[in-house]
């Protein structure tokens, strides 16, 4: 079993078995969920912007991603983050934004989510520091 070319008892190579593990499935699920929620809420937010007299409710998307990242186990946190980044980029592309605008909007949104996540994690460790 020490040779990299040998197969495991199930007949699959180790990387394939790792991809089929429950942890891998949970990570992919976190990525896909964040991607879908971020894309949909971002597009809904743009629709609300168009119907609400140019007031951009962008925080809807950031709140949804932040909530998912706050409850995600540590192993899935960065997968959810990656899904959120991809979701922001896809939504901006679908809305017809250029690559530069899409990246800048996505970076701003991700920065906001990461700062909020950092403060949320800090307050969970010592809630008395804000009283």
Q: Where are the domains of the chain?
A: 14-123
Q: Answer whether 79's CB lies under 8 Å from 30's CB.
A: yes
Which residues are within 8 A (CB) of 28 and not within 5 positions of it... i.e. 6 or more apart? Answer: 79
The token pair that represents 33 in the structure block: 């969920």
Please give the model's pTM, rounded to 2 decimal places.
0.71
Give residue 59's pLDDT band: very low, low, confident or very high (50, 70, 90): confident
Task: List, for residues 112-125, the tens digit of each pLDDT value.
Answer: 999 999 998 887 66
């Amino acid at each position: 079993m020490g040779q990299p070319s040998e197969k495991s008892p199930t007949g699959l190579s180790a990387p394939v078995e790792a991809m089929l593990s429950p942890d891998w499935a949970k990570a992919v699920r976190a990525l896909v969920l964040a991607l879908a929620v971020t894309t949909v809420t971002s597009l809904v937010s743009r629709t609300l912007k168009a119907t609400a007299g140019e007031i951009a409710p962008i925080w809807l998307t950031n709140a949804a991603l932040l909530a998912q990242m706050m409850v995600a186990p540590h192993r899935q946190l960065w997968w959810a983050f990656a899904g959120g980044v991809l979701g922001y980029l896809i939504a901006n592309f679908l809305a017809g934004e250029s690559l530069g605008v899409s990246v800048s909007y996505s970076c701003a949104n991700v920065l906001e989510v990461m700062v909020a996540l950092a403060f949320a994690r800090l307050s969970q460790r010592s809630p008395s520091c804000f009283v």
